[in-house]
Structure 1
Amino acid sequence: MDSLSSSQAKKLVLLSQGLPPKKKAQGSAISHTLSAIEQLGYIQIDTISVIQRAHHHTLWNRNPRYQLNHIDELVENREVFEYWSHAAAYLPMRDYRFSLYRKQAFKTGALSHWYKPNHELMKSVIQRIESEGPLMAKDFEGERKHKGGWGGKPAKQALETLFMQGDLMVSSRSNFHKVYDLTQRVVPETIDSSVPTAGEYARYLVTQFLKANGLGLAAEMSYLLKNTKPLVMKALSEMLEEGSVVQISVNGLAYFVLPGFLDLLNRPLARSKLKILSPFDNLLIQRKRMQALFGYNYLLECYVPEPKRQFGYFCLPILWQGELVGRMDCKVDRKTSVLNINNLVVEGAVEKWGSSKQESFVQALREELTGFMDFNQAQELIIHKANLAGING
């Protein structure tokens, strides 16, 4: 088995992830956004808004020309749709077929939803949307309760159950609230809607993960996808035997890669370009993977009681020189248009960096913060705390 150095493995991962992005991309800005979603396979949706939400942040980091209306336009144009990957996400419509495997599992009971199906209520919800057009959960509030129950909460549960099993899709969002419509009115007729076999679904998971991430383990390809790891392992065994995946050793672990993908290592990596990442960025979402490949130990502390937080409520990992070198806790005060960096921490023995490396880092951070402020519609920057001298200058 061939092997890669730790540095080569990181480079392969970053190039596959599109980080840092190329200076000049072909085509329109919105086509670049679609290409990024198709390359990554999904973009996680998150509601935390202390800075721009994670789905916008993740795409902005790969498309310098990204605009906040891109996702809505892509959904409206039926080039992107909402469903679950390991969490709520935007996915490319070209991959719609592969969402059907899980949708069928929810519909047949092979996978259990967190809501118990109320079939009478679900039927009523479908009938209303069929006759009235796209509706939100609030459109069902205040309905007179009948047998089986109306009311906001039961209707919301019915909508989400129908969404998870594929009868409804999110046709748009209004003030970030889901607008539901019948699936047949959302999916273009040109899209393949045949349900994949278990084998086809597993091969899709393997191939998409490796295209987006460069290299991977079976557990990473089935991350938070219930009942899929045995399918993925079977697919990997078959694909390894036929040569459609190969294995490579990194730090003593046998990772899978797609044949020819190691040729990416011949391309340059924009190491001097610094990127401020979202905690929900595709690169970072699997914390154990980041620990193994990058030696980066990360915990999102917004879910940790304040007295127990080590770095801050919403720390953003910092990528520079092909490494994850720090984190900064940020919040935008939208009333005053101020980007507050509450805590900036550079990893490891900062004092051993040397003045030249420290100056290069500070310059790269300043350059990136200029764009980051624009992206977050901030006009002023305040750094309250940092462990690197000269960062406030």
Structure 2
Amino acid sequence: MHHLTAAQARRIVVRAQLLDADRPGDVVEVAEQLGYVKIDPTATIAPCEHTVLWSRIGWSYEPGQLRKAVAGDRLLFEFDGAFRPMSLLPLMLPAMRQWPQRESSRQWLAANDRFRRDVLARLRPDGPLTAADIPDTAQVSRPPDGWSGANQVPHMLEFLQRQGLVAVCGRDGRTRRWDLAERVYPPDLPQYEPDDAARLLEERRLQAAGLAKRRSPWTPVGEAGEPATVEGSRWAWRVDPDALAALDEEVDGRVALLNPYDSLLFDRPRLAEIFGFAYVLEQFKPASERRYGYFAHPILMGDRFVGMLDAEHDRDADVLRVRAVHEFAPLEPEERDILRAEVDDLGAWLGAPVVMP
């Protein structure tokens, strides 16, 4: 049993998420460590996948590097709203072959067996295709859920992707292009038994988290790693042994501006327990109920969350317009200077001068 101070726990998590001063070198290195890079089109500053990578790599990151890693080098693949390293695919395939487990999804697939065969038959000679290129021949429809309309083709493509039968092979802007998985995924992937694959996936999740609860619904790591306690927390934790071994290494902290869908923010209970940060995304709140802004970016300084940046890339004026910097507690003058330098770097990366209030 390892006994961690609160500061050690925070440092382990920050380093695991590649948010200390020792920046990674490229897109694939980030994806390998984090396990995924979330895709989201909300571009108040820039789309999520690009701000996640910029916040790790820094000024040298260019969006073309992500496109090359996905479409050119095939080192990353798109699955379930995220870009993932190809090294994870063999570990995911055993569970994909057993999907779905939910009875309602099984029933929908069974009722639409002809539709399923129609989609695969259309992709085989004509792929890659967009969802709009494929006729909707569904026998049973899923009701609109607020995210998708009445067309059943996107639903079927998502289901077939989860079964490992089709895959996203590229994008036209934000529109996905689909093809048979056998033409997208490498043919010579390693084979794993389901139990081994599940165990290795838990180890990869803990690698990305650094520290997590064993049965967390957000970051399930099972028996991966080693048991730990954290000062001030009653929870039972699992810690990554490699992260523990690196604790004595001297690596400075830095300022990071995090997209609201950043993976560090995903496990909200852990965020509150370890960092004392009760984060609420205000994107879907009425404007009158927002405290920090529609898509404010949390500000991480070292191993502390110190505020929220409410900013927008005004593309008409081509400036990064900062509406407000909400400080949770008053920052020291030198801390404000460091934060301002990071905001200036963000503007330089966007090619947009910063306009402060």
State TM-score, norm by structure 2: 0.88
- Work out the CA distance in 2 between the residues paired with 1:103 and 1:307: 43
Matching residue within 91, 94, 104 for 2:87: 94
Deviations 1:270-291 (A, max 9, x none): 22x2111111111111111111
CA 1:260–1:187: 2 relative to 1, 3 Å:
closer
2:164 and 2:272 map into 1 onto residues whose CA distance is 36
Q: Which amino acid aligns with 2:240?
A: L
Tell me which residue corresponds to 2:108: 116
Pair 114,324 (structure 1): closer, same or farther in 2 beyond 3 Å: farther
- Match of 1:326, SS state, is strand
Spell out structure 1 runs of 4+ moving beyond 6 A: 149-152
Q: Quick one: percent identity of the two aligned structures?
A: 27
Q: Deviations over 1:325-346 (max 9, x none)?
A: 1111121111111212222111
Pick from 212, 218, 221 the counterpart of residue 223 of structure 1. 218
- Residue aligning to 1:383: 356
- Choose which of 196, 202, 206 in structure 2 pairs with 1:206: 202
1:190 pairs with 188, 199, 217, which one? 188
Q: Quote the Cα distance in structure 1 between the aligned partners of 2:17 and 2:282.
A: 25
- Whether the 8 Å contact between 1:106 and 1:112 is mirrored in structure 2 is no
Q: Which amino acid aligns with 2:284?
A: Y
Superposed displacement of residue 115, structure 1 = 9.6
Please state how far the C-alpha of 1:17 moved relative to its aligned partner: 1.3
Kindly tell me: are residues 339 and 112 of structure 1, through their superposed partners in 2, closer, same or farther at Cα, counting changes over 3 Å?
A: farther
Measured at CA, do residues 206 and 157 of structure 1 come closer, stay the same or move farther in structure 2, by a change above 3 Å? closer
Name the count of aligned residue pairs. Answer: 345
Distance 1:278 1:148 in 2: 40
What residue is the counterpart of 1:72 in the other structure?
67
CA contact (8 A) 2:77 2:86 kept: yes
Q: CA deviation at 1:209?
A: 2.0
Q: Determine the structure 2 residue equivalent to 1:125.
A: 119
Against the structure 1 CA distance between its residues 278 and 111, is the aligned structure 2 distance closer, same or farther, given a 3 Å change threshold? Answer: farther
Shift of 1:261: 3.0
**Superposed displacement of residue 184, structure 1:** 0.6
Q: Which amino acid aligns with 1:332?
A: H
Partner of 1:171: 169
Alpha-carbon separation, structure 2, partners of 1:369 and 1:97: 39
TM-score by length of 1: 0.81
Query: What does 1:28-43 correspond to in 2, within 5 Å?
Result: 32-43=26-37
Q: Which amino acid aligns with 2:108?
A: K
Q: Which stretches in structure 2 are left out of the alignment for 5+ residues?
A: 142-148
Contact 1:135 1:179 survives alignment (8 Å):
yes
Per the TM alignment, residue 58 of structure 1 is displaced from its structure 2 partner at its CA by: 0.8
Pick aligned residue for 1:294 from 275, 278, 284: 275
8 Å contact from structure 1 (residues 246, 258) kept in 2: no
Cα 1:339–1:203, aligned 2, differ >3 Å: closer, same or farther?
A: same
Deviations 1:156-179 (A, max 9, x none): 222222122211000111111110
The RMSD of aligned alpha carbons is 2.5
Residue 365 of structure 1 is aligned with which of 326, 335, 339?
Answer: 339
Residue in structure 2 matching 1:139, options 126, 133, 138: 133
Task: Say if 2:283 and 2:294, in contact at 8 Å, map to a contact too.
Answer: yes
Aligned to 1:2: 2
Task: For 1:176, give the aligned amino acid.
Answer: R
Partner of 1:390: none
Cα drift, residue 136 of structure 1: 0.3
**Structure 1 unaligned runs (5+)?**
385-393
Residue pair 1:106, 1:113 contacting (<8 A) in 2 also: no
Q: Does 1:343 align with 2:317?
A: no
Q: Which amino acid aligns with 1:327?
A: M
Q: Kindly indicate whether the alpha-carbon contact (under 8 Å) linking 1:51 and 1:330 is maintained by their aligned counterparts in 2.
A: yes
* CA deviation vs aligned residue, 1:143-195 (integer Å, no higher than 9, x gap): 5x768499981222222221222110001111111100111111112322x35
**Partner secondary structure for residue 151 of structure 2:** helix
Contact 1:97 1:196 in 2 (8 A): no
After TM superposition, the structure 1 stretch with the greater mean CA deviation from structure 2, 256-265 or 178-187, is 256-265
1:263 is the counterpart of 2:263: no
- Partners in 1 of 2:44 and 2:160 — Cα distance? 31
Q: Secondary structure at the match of 1:265?
A: coil
My pick for the range that moved more, 127-136 or 152-161, is 152-161
